[in-house]
Amino acid sequence: MNGDNLARSRGDRAAVFAALGESLRLAIADQLVLGDASPGQLAARLGLGTNLLAHHLRVLEDAGVIRRIRSEGDRRRSYVQLCLEEPTVRQALVPTDPLVQAERPIRRIVFVCTANTARSQFAAATWNAVSPLPAASGGTHPGRRVHRRAVKISRHHGLDLTGAVPTGIENLVPEQYLVVAVCDNSHEELDPALPRLHWSIPDPARIDTDAAFETAYAAISQRVDQLALAYATIKEAS
């Protein structure tokens, strides 16, 4: 890394630390470690007024800590998402999501997307490769077969989806499951009262290129690693 890049890296890291140096902004960021949330959800969780929340979100966005995502489903909705691809952001935060810290035992994780042909399949396969807690996947409107590019990208990363079959979620959400909606459409279609995490991952099938599926896989793999680390840490402490 040359001197200019090193200075830029330090400047970016300093901006992240400065933004997270205020307690309310740190609390906002902590809420997003394991899942995305709408501004309204963040305001309700932290008891913040709309104007105050908007100010803190703007500071975090300017520092490269968060981004705002427009829903692929209901375009009137937006979600706040951590920039977890930035190492400084990942390392500075602590997961506080009650779904993982809940006293109820979690027997399985269920990853949900619309068709269960790519994103939720990626998530379940990646999770099963890194955690002893079993994972399954399902779709709110399951497709006919797993997308061929999902099979190809998974194989490239040492995962096998050749025998995977899309399935519905009717029997996959009992009380002892941790539900993770990995797309906006499924998140917005599920019962609002159902506790869950939400990952706003764009549908790679809309673009239908290997690069789009690779991007989706990378985002999901990063999220899975964060969740697995949080779950393992909390299990050790319990």
Same domain as 188, residue 107: yes
Q: Are residues 73 and 112 in the same domain?
A: no
- Indicate if the alpha-carbon torsion angle 206, 207, 208, 213 is positive or negative: negative
* Coil vs helix vs strand at 20: helix
Residue 96 CA to residue 41 CA, distance in Å, equals 14
Contact 112, 169 (CB under 8 A): yes
218 and 187 inside one domain: yes
Classify burial at 66, counting beta carbons within 10 Å of its beta carbon; exposed 0-12, middle 13-18, buried 19 or more: buried
Last residue of a domain, one of 30, 59, 92: 92
* Cα 55 to Cα 210: distance, rounded to the nearest angstrom: 38
Q: For residue 187, what pLDDT is reported?
A: 97
**Burial degree of 82 (CB within 10 A; 0-12, 13-18, 19+):** buried
81 and 199 fall within a common domain? no
pLDDT reported for residue 112: 97
**Whether residue 152 is found in the same domain as residue 215:** yes
Same domain, 73 and 141: no
140 and 210 part of one domain: yes
111 and 20 within one domain: no
- The pairs formed by 149-154 with CB atoms below 8 angstroms and a separation of 24 or more are 149/118, 149/204, 149/205, 149/208, 149/209, 149/210, 149/213, 150/117, 150/118, 150/121, 150/122, 150/204, 150/213, 152/210, 152/213, 153/122, 153/210, 153/213, 153/214, 153/217, 154/121, 154/122, 154/125, 154/217
What is the reported pLDDT for 79? Answer: 98
Domain residues for 148?
98-237
Per-residue pLDDT of the chain (238 residues; tens, 9 = 90+): 555 554 557 788 898 999 999 999 999 999 999 999 999 999 999 999 999 999 999 999 999 999 999 999 999 999 999 999 888 888 888 777 777 766 677 889 999 999 999 999 999 999 999 999 999 999 999 999 999 999 999 999 999 999 999 999 986 666 678 999 999 999 999 999 888 999 999 999 999 999 999 999 999 999 999 999 888 877 766 6
CATH of the domain at 57: 1.10.10.10
Give the number of domains in the chain: 2
| 70 and 36 within one domain | yes
pLDDT score for 6: 45
Whole-prediction pTM: 0.89
